[in-house]
Every structure is written in structure tokens, then in C-alpha cells.
Amino acid sequence: MNQLQSYYQGKRVLLTGHTGFKGAWMSEWLLALGADLVGVSLEPNTKPSLFDQLDLSSRMEHHILDICDSEQLVQLVKDIQPDVVFHLAAQPLVRYSYNNPVETFATNVMGTVHLMEGIRQLTKRCEVVMITTDKCYENRELMEPYREEDPMGGHDPYSASKGAAELVIASYRRSFFDPAKYGSTHQVSLASARAGNVIGGGDWALDRIVPDCMRTLAKGEAIFVRNSRATRPWQHVLEPLGGYLALALRLGEAQDNARRGQVCSGFNFGPDPEANRPVRDLVEKVLSCWPGTWEDGTDPNAPHEAGLLNLTIDKAARLLNWKPVWNFDSAIEHTVDWYQGVHAGEAAALTKTQSQISEYTELFYNEI
């Protein structure tokens, strides 16, 4: 049994956002680790959804609840009494945030506050990982990667809401969950995780480049690309999820408050530098796996989206012993393989998801 299995086996784990794309992959991995898993989220917002394709509602404790409902969320956390918390629930789309800024700030900022209030009522040990995004940083469109100590910011409502969420997390850590006071005034170890664009099978969201590609290719049509020059740190969804799992593990392992103070902080999870590629490269690699054509629809008058953004992951490597496993090509190949297999009826979504987790973790567990 490896370190992750030893840590998560039988743990009461609360996962918000479990009905989403990342949440469904995280749920499947935590179930494989033997966690006593409880999910809190809205209903899946796509049809199909990976959550439904994996039949997760019958395989874990499943609660439909809006994290903007403070009273119900605080009570649920009290009832669940989690050993570990992963907060993934969010409004995750930049372009959607321009049309729905109030909803975006309410979910991403106040939803974080409401969960923190629930955790603040706990009188037991709990390791907490709050997930935000690489877009939480004040993006100056520079070549240098962003480090964890760089200032928070955000041009669009989504990015600003995630920068604000990071400030909320830092405030709660300083005010209520100070690592130096662990064991005397509280038993909560709190960290945040910042990851960039993720790809992988089972993402059915609108207005995302990979699922848009997959839907278009399945119809035999040309892929329309709205911003071919935008550069992103592309990574398979399992990469940051492994980072979140490793981060909670290290929080739980901390034997003294000095070590705990190092890990109770923000961490970047991104790919190796070679995976910082423009959208054009992503699309062309997709087409090398699933033949088709694409059309460049770059619009200079479209709403602002970051053109250049990447992270340094030195801190995660040093303190968590975490590093990426799959490179750019491998991430895309596994993603396209998932969609092709399910689309052709050659494999069920559950079988394909479980087999890719197994393949990934054979390499990942050797590193942690």
C-alpha cells in the first residue's frame, strides 16, 4: 500500500463540486483510494456529464446543495464531520463571468467564505485544500512564470473572483487557522492550490477548446478556434488532482508547527515548461490523433482573455515531492483516446476513466 492509499483509506472526505468535470475525476480517484467520500454540489450542468457517465450518485454519499446557501452548507459540514476537505465548487468560465458577474463573485468568493465558516465550527482535526486557479494572479502578460508570492489580481470577473478567494483563504488562515496555534486553538491545516487549464476525457462544457474540438470532430466538421495565439500551460486533469491529493497528505503528515507552516500556504500545480503552448499547437496535436480540419477565427474585438500565463512549480516539487507525469503530447493523446473510445462505443466511460487513472498512478505513486 502506497502513502496515498494509507492516508485516504477510510478517511471521511468532503469534496465540493463533485458533479463537475474535475470533481468527477477526483471522486473516481478518491473512491479508488478507499475514501469514505461525501460530495456537495449543484446538479451537473452539462448533458452528458462525466458524473452521470460514472454513475457516481450511487457510489458515494451525494448532496445537491448551493454553496451560496450559507446556513445549509455550514450545517452539512457540521453533520459530515470531515477528516479532509477539497473545495472545487466554482463558476469556472471566463466568458460566462462577463455576462454573469454577480453569480461569479457570489459563488467563487462568498461560497468560499461559507465553506470556511463551516470548517471553523469543527472541533476535530481536518486537512483542507481550497482550489482556485492560475488566473488568480495579477497577469502582466510577461514571459516569467508566476510564483506563489506574486500579487493576486484579475482583469475579468472570473479571475478577480479567484484572486479574491485566495485573499479570503489567507485571511481565514491568519485569523482562525494559524499554523503556529495548531493544537491549541484549532486543528485545521489549510492550504490553497492553483492550477491552470486542464484537459481530459469527459469534459462536456461549452466554450472550452477541447470539448469543442471533440464535439466538432465527432460530427465530421471543421474545428472553429476563437483565439489560436493564446498560450496556456496545458495539463491532463489527473496532474493537478494528484497535486491536491499530495498536498492534503503532506498537511496530515506535518509533525510540528514549523513544517505545518510551510505547507499551510498556496501552491502552484502546472505542467513542465514545454507544455506552455498556444491553442494552435493544441488543436494541431488533437488533429494528429483524430484527423480533421480547423478554422482560425481569432477576433481582436472579443472580450479580454489572458494571452500568456504560466506558473512555476518549484515549491510543489520541493515541499510536496510532486511533479508532472504526462507531457503535452501524452496529455492530449490520453484525452483524445478517452473521447474516441466512448464515442465509438468501444469502451464505457467508467472503464476508460478507471484504466487511465490506473495507468497514470503507476507512474505517479513512484514519485510521491
Q: Name which residue leads in pLDDT, 230 or 199.
A: 199
Please tell me the distance from the alpha carbon of residue 328 to that of residue 273, in angstroms, as a whole number: 10
Decide: 84 and 248 in contact? Cβ < 8 Å.
Answer: yes
Query: Percent of the chain at pLDDT above 70?
Result: 96
- Amino acid 81: pLDDT: 98
User: Minimal CA–CA distance to 313: which of 363, 263, 362, 271?
Assistant: 271
**Residue in the structure block whose three cell numbers are 475525476:** 25
Contact 23, 74 (CB under 8 A): no
- Asked if residue 271 has pLDDT above 60, the reply is yes
CB neighbour list of residue 340: distance below 8 Å, 6 or more residues apart: 289, 290, 346
The reply to whether omega before 48 is within 30° of 0 (cis) is yes
Residue 184 has pLDDT above 70, yes or no: yes
Q: What is the CATH code of the structural domain delimited by 7-199+234-276+308-329? A: 3.40.50.720
Question: What residue spans of 142-299 are helical by DSSP H?
Answer: 157-175, 209-219, 238-253, 257-263, 279-289
Residue type, 183: G
Q: Any idea which of 46-55, 240-249, 302-311 has the lowest mean pLDDT? A: 302-311
Q: Which residue has the cell 509533525?
A: 255
Q: Give Cα separations from 58 to 29, 68, 82, 173, 351 (angstroms).
A: 16, 25, 20, 35, 16
Instruction: Kindly tell me if the per-residue pLDDT of 322 is higher than 60.
Output: yes
Report which DSSP code applies to 107: I
Region of poorest pLDDT, from 169-183, 219-233, 257-271, 290-304: 290-304
SS3 249: helix
Which residues make Cβ contacts (< 8 Å) with residue 215, sequence separation at least 6?
none
pLDDT in tens, 44-56: 999 999 999 999 9
φ, ψ of residue 48 to 5 degrees: the values are -70, 175
DSSP string, 6-54: HHHTT-EEEEETTTSHHHHHHHHHHHHTT-EEEEEEPPPSSSS-HHHHT
Cβ-contact 47, 72 below 8 angstroms:
no
Using 50, 70 and 90 to split pLDDT, how confident is the model at 94?
confident
Residue 30 or 278, more confident: 30
Query: What's residue 1's pLDDT?
Result: 65
- Whether the full predicted model's pTM is greater than 0.75, yes or no, is yes
Domain segments of the chain as ranges: 7-199+234-276+308-329
Distant-in-sequence, close-in-space partners of 234: CB < 8 Å, separation ≥ 6: 196, 197, 199, 271, 275, 276, 277, 282, 328, 331, 332
Across all residues in the chain, what is the average pLDDT? 93
How many Å apart are CA 231 and CA 214, to the nearest integer?
20
pLDDT above 90: percentage of residues in the chain:
80
What's residue 301's pLDDT? 63
pLDDT at 305: 54
Please provide the distance, in angstroms rounded to a whole number, between the alpha carbons at the two ends of the chain: 13
Q: Is the per-residue pLDDT at 334 higher than 60?
A: yes
- The whole-angstrom separation of Cα 79 and Cα 65 is 14
pLDDT of residue 300: 64
pLDDT in tens, 62-83: 999 999 999 999 999 999 999 9
Long-range contacts of 47-51 (CB under 8 A, 24+ apart): 47/204, 48/204, 49/19, 49/24, 49/204, 50/21, 50/24, 50/25, 50/201, 50/202, 50/203, 50/204, 50/349, 50/353, 51/18, 51/19, 51/20, 51/23, 51/24, 51/27
